[in-house]
DNA sequence: TTGACAAGAACGAATGTTCGTTCTATTACT
DNA sequence: AGTAATAGAACGAACATTCGTTCTTGTCAA
């Protein structure tokens, strides 16, 4: 009986397909990855893939919404754990750095891919819920006087722009070593930009 | 006599093709733009396009290298006009903002497109000469004591990361009005991040 | 225990279309 | 006359997707 949680098992065709697609999409790009490429790399049949996903686009859409949801959950956790804008924003940046190190493909797909090109129905990433929540954190910081009285857009950009760009550099292979070695210095810069 | 400078004349098929391709590539993406789309939009024939460019990839490559060169020239001008790291970097950011307002497609293609996906032989943008020059400016600022003693990568990212992200937001349609309205505040944030 | 049956999952050859490119013909210029 | 430019029909490879089939697993009657 029971034991219903076998769904992330990897031997599951659906998960295997998702994992493989994510890897190929980020490595070669959505349009340079054919369904046959995914089939070969994942060692599953075309039929199987189409049994689990209605189309290539839906496959990419699944990846995208999963990732957005994970990121939203991650931010919720931060909100629950920390109370000040400073601590919250710092924790979000830290989480992004950590994720970029441990799951580069996931972060690359979320931050660097141009989803609008292959998911015409999705909003741009920067309008997605997680990014809205980041802006709300900054707004709270301004209201409480933690962050000086700037245009919220500018403050948000000043805080997250540097770290996000650093992540992009890392994911583009322009940076040696782990991202972590830059975290403290980077955060100090970002915070002092808005205080 | 001679009058050799007719090359940006617009009635010239080659330029017209380039202009149109840039517009379509940035609007719909390289892979969602067919040669027939360009042909229709520019009112030229397939034969003409292939007379001027050997392939779709070479067409995109022309756009890219032209743009990189323009940006390099722009930075050279800044280097000639200003002497301090502060003034130079500020001028580069100002030029980027200005260009993003007046030629959004050009900046979108340069900063936001994922060239590696359709120009497999090009280096990543962030390794191109203009971006190298930006890093050199920052290094000079550190050496001269204008910028405090940070890891050069972090300092560069702290300075340019915010502004570049702001430009990306604007080009993604997430920002109202002109970029200029944010320039002073944004620059103040960036500079105070590294001093 | 066995055999019949059902249903979801996996399979992969075949299909129809799209797209970049080539080819041949025609026109403009010098 | 000869070269550069334009034209658009035709080509062939690559692609996403379909569909009829096979495999696997579980259920239930005898």
Q: What is the pLDDT of residues B170-193, one digit of tens each?
A: 999 999 889 999 999 999 999 999
User: What mean pLDDT value characterizes chain A?
Assistant: 93
The pLDDT assigned to B26 comes to 97
Model pLDDT for residues A19-78, shown as the tens digit of each residue: 999 999 999 999 999 999 999 999 999 999 999 999 999 999 999 999 999 999 999 999
Average of pLDDT values for A88-112?
97
CB interface of A with B, residues 96-125, below 8 Å: 112-114, 116-117, 124
Name the residue among B157, B172, B174 with its Cβ closest to that of A165: B157
Model pLDDT for residues B155-166, shown as the tens digit of each residue: 999 999 999 999
Looking at residue A145, the DSSP 8-state letter turns out to be T
3-state secondary structure of A104: helix
* Residue A5 reports pLDDT greater than 90: no
Interface contact A154-B186, CB threshold 8 A: yes
- A79-89 per-residue burial string, b: 16 or more CB within 10 A, e: under 16: eeebeebbebb
DSSP per-residue codes, chain B: ------TT-SSSHHHHHHHHHHHHHHHH-STT--HHHHHHHHT--HHHHHHH-SSHHHHHHHHHHHHHHHHHHHHHHHHHH--SHHHHHHHHHHHHHHHHHH-HHHHIIIIIS-HHHH-TTSPPGGGSHHHHHHHHHHHHHHHTTSS-S--HHHHHHHHHHHHHHHHHHHHTT-S-S-THHHHHHHHHHHHHH--
* Residue B3 reports pLDDT greater than 90: no
The pLDDT assigned to A11 comes to 60
Structure tokens at B27: 């609007």
Name the residue among A117, A153, A161 with its Cβ closest to that of B161: A161
Give the pLDDT band of residue B78 (cuts 50, 70, 90): very high
Sign of the four-CA dihedral B88, B91, B130, B189: positive
The pLDDT assigned to B11 comes to 61
Model pLDDT for residues B33-65, shown as the tens digit of each residue: 999 999 999 999 999 999 999 999 999 999 999
Residues of B in contact with A24 (CB under 8 A): none
Interface contact B157-A174, CB threshold 8 A: no
pTM of the predicted protein model:
0.91
Give the pLDDT band of residue A3 (cuts 50, 70, 90): very low
CB interface of B with A, residues 21-60, below 8 Å: 28-29, 31-32
* Residue B149 reports pLDDT greater than 60: yes
Average of pLDDT values for B72-97?
98
The pLDDT assigned to B5 comes to 32
Structure tokens at A172: 């583009």
Separation CA A183–CA B141 (nearest Å): 22
* Share of residues in chain B with pLDDT > 90 (%): 91
Name the residue among A162, A174, A192 with its Cβ closest to that of B161: A162
CA distances from A154 to A19, A60, B116, B164, B165 (A): 36, 32, 30, 12, 10
User: What mean pLDDT value characterizes chain B?
Assistant: 93
Sign of the four-CA dihedral A154, A133, B114, B170: negative
């Amino acid at each position: 009986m029971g034991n219903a949680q076998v769904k992330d098992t990897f031997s599951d065709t659906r998960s295997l397909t998702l994992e493989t697609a994510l890897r190929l999409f980020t490595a070669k790009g959505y349009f340079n990855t054919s369904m046959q490429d995914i089939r070969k790399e994942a060692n599953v049949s075309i039929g199987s893939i189409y049994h689990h996903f209605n189309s290539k686009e839906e496959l990419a859409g699944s990846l995208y919404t999963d990732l957005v949801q994970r990121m939203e959950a991650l931010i919720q956790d931060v909100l629950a754990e920390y109370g000040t804008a400073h601590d919250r924003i710092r924790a979000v940046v830290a989480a992004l750095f950590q994720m970029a190190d441990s799951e580069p493909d996931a972060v690359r797909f979320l931050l660097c891919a141009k989803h609008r090109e292959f998911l015409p129905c999705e909003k741009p990433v920067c309008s997605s819920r997680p990014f809205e929540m980041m802006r709300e954190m900054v707004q709270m910081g301004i209201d409480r006087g933690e962050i000086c009285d700037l245009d919220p857009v500018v403050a948000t950009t000043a805080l997250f722009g540097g770290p996000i760009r650093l992540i992009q550099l890392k994911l583009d292979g322009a940076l040696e070593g782990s991202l972590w070695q830059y975290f403290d210095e980077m955060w100090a810069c970002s915070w002092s930009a808005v205080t």
